[in-house]
Structure 1
Amino acid sequence: MAVIRAAALFETGEFDDLLTETPADVRQALRTLRNIASRSGYRSMDDDILWVTLTRDLPPHVASWRRAAFD
């Protein structure tokens, strides 16, 4: 669910000002994960890769988005 919600930030222009520092490859990775999760289901995803994404890769970006929102 976290990946789907994070990817949703990029679907409208509403949050563009907050997301300017997010690299294009991160945006694409989130879209890809969202597509896999929403179309194929979480069972088709590699649990180890998903865990690393959620616990190591995604949190710094979420922190950056939060800082941008409150600056």
Structure 2
Amino acid sequence: MAFLPVLVLVILASFGSTGLAGSDRYKDPTAPLNYRIKDLMRRMTLEEKIGQMTQIDRVVATPEIVKKYFI
């Protein structure tokens, strides 16, 4: 019966380690580019994605505007 708690502990430990290993895949330069892009896009909010696509003139791009609109 002592086998069951050990098995549960091993399973939980494996989930924890795999979750941490892939947490910042978009920052890993050794990961394939398509995985890095998908990971980053999954983490970004809709507002951040729209902000990255926004074309703005540098003359009107104050730090407040850049921060507010994720530019």
Bucket of the pairwise TM-score, normalised by the shorter protein:
under 0.3
Structure with higher RCO (Cα < 8 A, 6+ apart)? 1
Larger Rg: 2
* Structure number having the greater helix percentage: 1
Q: Report the TM-score, using the length of structure 1 for normalisation.
A: 0.27
Q: Report the TM-score, using the length of structure 2 for normalisation.
A: 0.27
